[in-house]
């Protein structure tokens, strides 16, 4: 699981990354502060299975019944118009972003940076322009990939050494594109009934645009909401995009205050509790400002963005593998030791494969710890399931 952070320079990507991963990275008000991609670990937030069983357990990733499941986050170099032509750090940016399964586009919703990422007065730049230009860069990049190979692909189809679906899939294999995705889009656009040699430039662009949306889903993180005088712009963005309102600066402050023991705060909460009675005036003022932000935006949006990307766009569920279905533990007696993210529709054997290939290879059956029933290899798992795998082969 790899989530990519993208966007133009100076929109708060590095601040978002630092807040989400609690990793210190260079943060500066100039283009290309980030050159080499920063990779860190963040967490999706879900309800722990301990709630279902009404138990408590010791696990640093379970906080009062809230389970945190690790995922990787990559913050790539700032994007500029013409990236697909190699401008700025375009080629490097696109290659780094290629690795991600889902993308969070961090946008300066307050309009404090122009299209090149240079500072401008609040509200003087339209964030819709940023969203359009980033989408266009990705679409043009996808189109370049297909354009480069189109004539060769047509020859292969004519010579019957490949077919359209296989040929296109091969060209996009580096982006993780699957045959079924290519096939679905061809049918959606009715291009499967048209000879590839008769495709127009418009047909190719329509195809790659759909392919980009399906294989690299994008969530817009409407950042700098704390600076935004009018959040009605978010409604316009929502017309064509998945959007979460964010204040990365507020989240970073809360994470630091929590780590210092000044407040009690779980990422994604709509409020925090002050624990320290010895806050200095600057600390109190900063936390008061965050309270104002939360009253306007409900949460800082960082955790909500991570969750939305994983659970809503990618359609993942959380499953808890155990070795003792009665005690809900592993062989060492640790209760609910692990939580796995699986695609919705995954079965019990798929879960076994995420633990160890040998478990899947020797799969006999599984046990649903909630119902105590034996389940088969093709049993479709549900979010929150707790499962024991029984296999003829050890984990090696």
For residue 356, is pLDDT > 70? yes
Summary mean pLDDT of the chain:
90
Confidence of residue 77 (pLDDT cuts 50, 70, 90): low
Mean pLDDT to the nearest integer, 299-310: 97
For residue 57, is pLDDT > 90? yes
Mean pLDDT to the nearest integer, 303-312: 98
For residue 88, is pLDDT > 60? no
Confidence of residue 136 (pLDDT cuts 50, 70, 90): confident
Three-state SS across 344-390?
A: CCCEHHHHHHHHCHHHHHCEEEEEECCCCCEECCCCECCCCCEEEEE
Confidence of residue 165 (pLDDT cuts 50, 70, 90): very high
The residue behind tokens 């993210």 is 341
The total number of residues shown for the chain amounts to 396
Ordered by where they begin, the domains of the chain are: 2-126+217-309 (3.40.50.300), 137-210 (1.10.8.470), 319-391 (3.10.20.30)
Mean pLDDT to the nearest integer, 321-349: 97
Query: pLDDT at position 84, please?
Result: 56
Confidence of residue 6 (pLDDT cuts 50, 70, 90): confident
For residue 82, is pLDDT > 90? no
Collapse the DSSP code of 15 into the 3-class scheme (helix H, G, I; strand E, B; otherwise coil) and give the result. helix
Mean pLDDT to the nearest integer, 69-75: 94
Query: pLDDT at position 326, please?
Result: 96
The burial of 6, by beta-carbon neighbours within 10 Å (0-12 exposed, 13-18 middle, 19 or more buried), is given as buried
Mean pLDDT to the nearest integer, 344-365: 96
Mean pLDDT to the nearest integer, 141-148: 92
For residue 265, is pLDDT > 90? yes
Query: pLDDT at position 32, please?
Result: 39
Confidence of residue 33 (pLDDT cuts 50, 70, 90): very low
């Amino acid at each position: 699981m790899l989530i990519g952070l993208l966007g133009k320079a100076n929109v708060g990507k590095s601040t978002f990354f630092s807040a989400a991963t609690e990793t210190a990275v260079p943060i500066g008000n100039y283009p290309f502060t980030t050159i080499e991609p920063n990779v860190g670990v963040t967490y999706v937030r879900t309800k722990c299975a301990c709630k279902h069983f009404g138990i408590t357990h010791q696990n640093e990733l379970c906080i009062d019944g809230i389970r945190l499941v690790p995922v990787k986050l990559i913050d790539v170099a700032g994007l500029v118009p013409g990236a697909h032509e190699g401008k700025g750090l375009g080629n490097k940016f696109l290659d780094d972003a290629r690795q991600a399964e889902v993308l969070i586009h961090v946008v300066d919703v307050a309009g404090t940076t122009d299209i090149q990422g240079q500072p401008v007065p609040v509200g003087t730049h339209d964030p819709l322009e940023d969203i359009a230009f980033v989408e266009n860069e990705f679409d043009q990049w996808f189109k370049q990939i297909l354009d480069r190979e189109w004539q060769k692909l047509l020859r292969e189809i004519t010579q019957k050494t490949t077919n359209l679906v296989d040929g296109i899939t091969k060209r996009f294999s580096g982006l993780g594109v699957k045959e079924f995705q290519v096939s679905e889009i061809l049918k959606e656009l009715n291009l499967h009934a048209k000879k590839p040699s008769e495709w127009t430039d418009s047909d190719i662009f329509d195809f790659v645009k759909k392919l980009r949306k399906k294989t690299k889903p994008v969530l817009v993180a409407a950042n700098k909401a704390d600076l935004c005088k009018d959040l009605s712009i978010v409604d316009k963005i929502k017309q064509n995009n998945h959007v979460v309102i964010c204040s990365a600066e507020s989240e970073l402050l809360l994470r630091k205050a929590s780590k210092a023991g000044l407040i009690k705060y779980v990422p994604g909460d709509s409020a925090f509790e002050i624990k320290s009675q010895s806050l200095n005036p600057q600390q109190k003022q900063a936390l008061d400002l965050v309270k104002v932000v939360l009253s306007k935006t409900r949460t800082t949006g960082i955790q909500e963005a991570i969750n939305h990307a994983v659970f809503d766009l990618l359609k993942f569920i959380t499953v808890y593998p155990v070795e003792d279905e009665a005690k809900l533990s592993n062989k060492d007696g640790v209760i609910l030791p692990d939580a796995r993210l699986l695609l919705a529709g995954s079965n019990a054997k798929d879960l076994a494969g995420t633990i160890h290939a040998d478990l899947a290879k020797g799969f006999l059956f599984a046990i649903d710890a909630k119902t105590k029933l034996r389940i088969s290899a093709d049993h479709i798992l549900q979010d929150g399931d707790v499962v024991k795998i029984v296999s003829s082969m050890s984990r090696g």
